[in-house]
Amino acid sequence: MTRLPAHDILFTPMQIGPKTAKNRFYQVPHCNGGGYRDPSAVAEMRRTKAEGGWGVIFTEQTEIHPSSEITPFIEQHLWDDRDIPALARMAEAMKSHGALAGIQLAYSGINGPNLYSREVPLAVTGGPILTFTADPVQARTMDREDIRNLRRWFRNAFRRSQQAGFDLICLYGAHGFGILQHFLSRATNQRSDEYGGSLTNRSRFLREVIEDMRDTTKGELAVTLRMSLHEAGAYGFSNAELRDFIEMHGNLPDLWDLAHGTWESCSGTSRFTPEGAQEDLVKGIKALTPKPVVGVGRFTSPDAMARQIRAGILDFIGAARPSIADPFLPKKVEEGRYEDIRECIGCNICVSGDMTQGISRCTQNTAFMEEWRKGWHPERARPRGASESVLIVGAGPTGLEAALQAARRGYRVTLAEAGTTLGGRVARERNLPGLSAWGRVADYRIGQLARMANVEIYRNSPLTPGDILATGADHVAVATGAIWRRDAVARLHLHPIPTDPAMPLFTPDDLMDGKAPEGLTVAIYDDDHFYMGSVLAELLVAKGNRVHFITPAAKAAEWTENTLEQRTIMRRLLESGVDVHLNKSPETIGRDELTLACTWTRRLTALPAEAVVLVTSRTPDDQLYHATRALDWQGAGIRSLKLIGDAAAPGPIAWATYAGRNWAEGLDQPDPGDALTFRREIAALDSGPGLLP
């Protein structure tokens, strides 16, 4: 395998101020839900990217002072010298294979509610804190002394960043999150002193901070500026003003790192945003500055990346999610191993890890954030143990990942699938509106398995318990998936509700099987709260139905706030003419109407409908497992028989791929008993003196 000459341009080194990046693959700062709580897990995650060939690797946002912090989100702290060792560990990991190590420094201003530090938030112009959660907190307008203090806090952070071993410092002024943007934008800067008013005045603080940075680090580190390409709204820092700013200050940073306006638009999901969606906003900016430009766009295609550089749009290919889904993307392109690229599917499950303060996971890269916790690797699996063969029943995301990881470990793998198509739920969901990229979950794994000599795949093979016993495999995993329920049972209704059999009822499975109603008045009841309800609403509208969307929640698809999609979903539902009934749930389903109850008052109203679609919950398809378990499977030579994935506990696709890997990694491993199955770090107890005498 050799690399196409057209991609050579991606491997030409490039100067960033006093540093040189070995190639054009630039991992822009990204959160991971671990942050300061899981320092070693984050460091190992970044080390994997270094091994995978990235030229530049950044931390997530690092808060420089407790007077501005964004609890409950877990990012990094650089509040005093005690934070240096954890970040030094990360810098060392980033540099382990020749990448430049970057730290993103943030002061959140109007964005930081300070729920942990309890300090009064300081903003360019005071006002209510602008977060996802409408915290009932206001920030105070900074006076000149505050601005002097902030410059000093930045200088402290520059010194500590250098001490920790970083090469690059990124100043965060994008997504509406960083105070540098708050200074630049007339929306958040309403000052009348020398820091407000004209663009020259609004950029004063930025000029001062960059000067301070060069001074503090003696010009040894490079400084990058991460800025929003376009802030919406009448007073927002627009794309036109950004261009004016760059023209005025073309030489200010050592590199311009340009990201879309809000995090929501910058990290759009594939359902709503195509690859390279920021091109129009970034095109032409390179001509305004002699300094290199990096931009993002969920780039996974080396052709698209090379084109961005050749066309003079970007100098570096910025990536967060593509680097999460495939930390080895640069290496694979470098070696011409294009078919090995594990493309991001644009689902934003990684983002949800940060939004929920869990730890991020990735649908495609099951090792993400498990590199240190469990010793998993995105490309390798631990060598096989004493036994030799495995049988996996069901080729959905669980079964495919289980097969791939078991095969990588060196087991002889048999994968049996009842249907003609591999991919399970993904093979069906990829045909729904906006979800085609999700098919990459199946495509990548099928492609990998097809080239492995120790894997046999049987399609059209619905196995029975007898078949399983007859295979003689050492280990068996039953990954037979789950089926959408045909009643209203989910979160609100824990038992079925009265339903007239004359009302036509549909489940998501029916619609995916092509049995969608057409030209009717259809009521969708969504007590699932993720993507499926709204996706089916779009499908039903396209089929000429009049659609009512009913949810007991206060927002349609409310969990999609965690994937940054909720507002787009709501807008699209309304724009496509769907009647959205919030805070409502059916009490009964009659022959031609539903009786809806208000979530708060229980007041009842009638909603006429000709068909009902229930997006409620799923029943595990575990009959095969239990029927096999009832036989003498151990007598047949099977050492372990496990139920995994949606067949055990239905969840998002990322949970399924994780379950597949977890099973494969556990083969021939000693029983952990009651011990933890992952590593973690526990805060060191402080035995030092208190602050006050």
Taking the complex as a whole, the smallest distance from the CB of residue 415 to ligand SF4 amounts, in Å, to: 22
Query: Cβ of residue 596: shortest distance to ligand ADP, in angstroms?
Result: 31
Regarding 346 and contact with ligand SF4 (CB under 6 A), the answer is yes
Figure out which of the listed residues 63, 257, 340, 417 binds ligand ADP, where binding follows CB under 6 A: 417
Distance CA 254, CA 256 (A): 7
Do the beta carbons of residue 146 and residue 125 sit within 8 Å? no
Instruction: Residue 398: name its binding partner from ligand SF4, ligand ADP, none (Cβ under 5 to 8 Å by kind).
Output: ligand ADP
Show the tokens assigned to 347: 């689902």
Given the complex with ligand SF4, which of 350 and 638 has the nearer CB atom? 350
Q: Nearest CA to 117 among 125, 108, 126? A: 108
Taken in order 55, 373, 638, 468, the sign of the CA dihedral is negative
334 versus 343: smaller Cβ distance to ligand SF4: 343
CB of 449 or CB of 482, closer to ligand ADP: 482
Quick one: which of 345, 469, 578, 597 contacts ligand SF4 (CB under 6 A)? 345
**Contact between residue 406 and residue 454 where contact means Cβ atoms under 8 Å apart:** no
Half-sphere exposure of 250 (CA within 13 A, CB side): 9
- Of 363 and 628, CB closest to ligand SF4: 363
CB of 630 to ligand ADP, least distance (A): 15
Rounded CA separation 465/111 (Å): 57
Q: Using the 8-state DSSP alphabet, how is residue 495 labeled? A: S
Kindly tell me which residue out of 393, 516, 580, 613 binds ligand ADP, with binding defined by CB under 6 A.
Answer: 393
Partner whose binding site includes residue 481, from ligand SF4, ligand ADP, none (CB under 5 to 8 Å by kind): ligand ADP
Q: Which is nearer to ligand ADP, 163 or 623 (CB)?
A: 623
Contact pick of 173, 481, 533, 552 for ligand ADP (by CB under 6 A): 481
The residue among 297 and 552 lying less far from ligand SF4, judged by its C-beta, is 297
Closest approach, Cβ 27 to ligand SF4, in A, equals: 12
Residue pointed to by tokens 């009932």: 136
Tell me which of ligand ADP, ligand SF4, none is bound by residue 55, counting a contact when its beta carbon lies within the kind-specific cut-off of 5 to 8 angstroms.
none
463 binds ligand ADP (CB under 6 A): yes
Site string for ligand SF4, 361-380 (x = CB under 6 A): -xxx----------------
Query: Which of ligand ADP, ligand SF4, none interacts with 189 (beta carbon under 5 to 8 A by kind)?
Result: none
CA separation for the pair 665, 667 (Å, rounded): 6
Query: Looking at the DSSP assignment, which residues form a beta bridge with residue 546?
Result: 521
DSSP 507: -
Segment contacting ligand SF4 by CB under 6 A, of 80-88, 303-311, 344-352, 540-548 = 344-352
31 in Cβ contact with 61 (< 8 Å): yes
Nearer residue to ligand SF4 within complex by CB, 301 or 640: 301
Q: How far is the CB of 400 from ligand ADP (least distance, A)?
A: 7
- The closest alpha carbon to 171, from 230, 105, 262, belongs to 105
Nearer residue to ligand ADP within complex by CB, 69 or 417: 417
Binding flags for ligand SF4, 310-329, as an x/- string (CB under 6 A): -----------x--xx----
Q: What is the spatial distance between Cα 652 and Cα 645, in angstroms, rounded to a whole number? A: 10
Secondary structure tally for the chain: helices H, strands E: 22, 29
CB of 394 to ligand ADP, least distance (A): 3
- What are the phi and psi torsion angles at 377 (to 5°)? -130, 145
Rounded-to-integer distance, Cα 355 and Cα 330, Å: 28
Q: Is 350 in the site for ligand SF4 (CB under 6 A)?
A: yes
Cβ at position 397, least distance to ligand ADP in Å: 4
Site for ligand ADP in 648-677 (CB under 6 A): 656
Q: How far apart are the first and last CA of the chain?
A: 69
CA dihedral 623, 629, 630, 631 (to 10 degrees): 120
Instruction: Pick the stretch among 18-26, 184-192, 377-385, 477-485 that binds ligand ADP (CB under 6 A).
Output: 477-485
Q: Which residues pair with 475 in a beta bridge?
A: 390, 640
Partner from ligand SF4, ligand ADP, none contacting 345, C-beta within 5 to 8 A by type: ligand SF4
Least Å distance, CB 347 to ligand SF4, is 4
Is-contact 516 540, C-beta < 8 A? Answer: yes
Strand, helix or coil at 355?
A: helix
d(CA 171, CA 206): 9
Q: How far, in Å, CA of 317 to CA of 299, rounded?
A: 8
Peptide bond into 292 cis (omega under 30): no
- Say if residue 279 is exposed, middle or buried (CB neighbours under 10 Å; 0-12, 13-18, 19+): middle
Q: Which helix (H) or strand (E) holds 608?
A: strand 604-608
Specify the residue, 294 or 324, whose C-beta has the smaller distance to ligand SF4.
324
Q: Which of 128, 165, 250, 419 is in the footprint of ligand ADP by CB under 6 A? A: 419
* DSSP designation for 387: -
463 interacts with, out of ligand ADP, ligand SF4, none, CB within 5 to 8 A per kind: ligand ADP
Q: Is 613 helix (H, G, I), strand (E, B) or coil?
A: strand
624: partner contacted, choices ligand ADP, ligand SF4, none (Cβ within 5-8 A by kind): ligand ADP
CB 51 within 8 A of CB 43: no
Q: Which stretch binds ligand SF4 (CB under 6 A): 359-367, 481-489, 530-538, 609-617?
A: 359-367
Residue 399 lies near ligand ADP (rule: CB under 6 A): yes
| Euclidean distance between CA atoms 220 and 213, whole angstroms | 10
Q: Which residues bind ligand ADP (CB under 6 A)?
A: 393-399, 416-419, 424-425, 461-463, 479-482, 621, 624, 645-647, 656
Q: Which residues bind ligand SF4 (CB under 6 A)?
A: 321, 324-325, 344-350, 362-364
